[in-house]
Amino acid sequence: MLVSVTDHAVERYRQRVRGTLDARTEIAARVGRAWAAGEFTREPPPGAAAQRGSVYVREGDVTYVCLEDRPRGELIVVTLWEEGDAAIVPRRFTDALKRDDLGHGRRRPASGS
């Protein structure tokens, strides 16, 4: 299975899991291993809104939200989240930055994916 990773997923990984220079490759490798081990479901985790065609790949405390393109044999990692508050950059800090950006009328730049 080919694993592709969106820019948004890379940003989230750096914020929530760990800073790394090659996050895209690291995410693809982690998702590929978890997929091969059968650590995925098409049922959304509790509290998540179901999206048509989504696949949820679990690796430890991290859930990768993916879209599966079966004809192409490709899994596209769209975003991710962690269970609990063990992220390197805790959610309260990134949420505060987001509120600050919105409060000052600044818009977050659009990503390429």
pLDDT, position 3: 96
pLDDT, position 4: 97
| Rounded Cα–Cα distance for residues 87 and 2 (Å) | 27
pLDDT, position 61: 86
pLDDT, position 105: 55
Using CA atoms, how far residue 55 sits from 17, 41, 42, in Å, is 20, 6, 5
- Asked if residues 74 and 4 have their Cβ atoms less than 8 Å apart, the reply is yes
Q: Which domains does the chain have, with CATH numbers?
A: 2-98 (3.30.2310.20)
Question: What are the average pLDDT values for consecutive 10-residue runs of the chain, which has 113 residues?
Answer: 94 84 94 96 82 89 92 94 65 60 55 52
